[in-house]
């Protein structure tokens, strides 16, 4: 293991989708994430492979820089959707989507990414998130298991004395509630 991102191997994922007709009669790609749904739509399921670079500090800063937007009042903020767009454009290196006429793989470009169906762009980013998510076992994070920590919290709660009993609390009548008949 290293603290440096030196591995040039790309992260490989796959995006699954089906086409569904909209009210207007257009066909729209709908991403499929759940295995049960993939099985349910197996006869119409389509997919394509996606390949991402692993972000290093320089790429991370480029994504942040690309995500800064100027608001109407002139202040600059990092916009969440701009971050996702910058991630897509900076991390997606290639895919296996082929041109229907030539059969050749279509290279990824910013212009093509701008013209993706929003659901497909989101599905690509979700696949990146899935590939880069760290699975952690929190059961031994502090040296004690979760049940011990929970029991300690419960023990603390049991020793806290209330400052005022319910019997001595002053009741305040809510003026919005009344027994009036309509």
Tell me the pLDDT tens digit for each residue of 13-29.
999 999 999 999 999 99
pLDDT tens-digit readout, 109-122:
999 999 999 999 99
Does residue 139 have a pLDDT over 90?
no
- Residue 139 makes CB contacts below 8 A (sequence gap 6+) with 145, 146
Q: What six digits make up the tokens of 167?
A: 């019997």
Cβ atoms within 10 A of the Cβ of 166, count?
7
What the block records as the tokens of 16 is 């699954």
At residue 100's C-alpha, the angle toward residues 125 and 126, to 5°, is: 10
User: What tens digit of pLDDT does each residue of 150-178 get?
Assistant: 565 555 545 445 444 444 444 445 454 44
| Secondary structure (3-state) at 28 | strand
């Amino acid at each position: 293991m290293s603290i440096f991102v030196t591995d040039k191997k790309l992260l490989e994922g796959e995006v699954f989708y089906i086409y569904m007709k909209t009210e207007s009669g257009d066909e729209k790609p709908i991403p499929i994430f759940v295995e049960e749904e993939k099985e349910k739509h197996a006869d119409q399921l389509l997919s394509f492979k996606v390949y991402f670079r692993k972000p290093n500090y320089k790429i991370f800063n480029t994504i942040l820089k690309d995500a800064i937007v100027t608001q109407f009042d002139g202040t600059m903020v990092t916009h969440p959707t701009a971050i996702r767009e910058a991630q897509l454009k900076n991390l997606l290196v290639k895919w296996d989507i082929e041109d229907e006429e030539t059969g050749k793989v279509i290279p990824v470009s910013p212009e093509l990414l701008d013209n993706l169906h929003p659901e497909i762009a989101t599905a690509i980013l979700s696949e990146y998130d899935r590939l880069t998510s760290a699975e952690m076992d929190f059961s031994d994070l502090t040296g004690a298991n979760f049940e011990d920590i929970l029991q300690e919290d419960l023990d603390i709660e049991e020793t806290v004395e209330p400052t005022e009993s319910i019997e001595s609390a002053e009741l305040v009548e809510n003026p919005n509630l009344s027994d009036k008949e309509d």
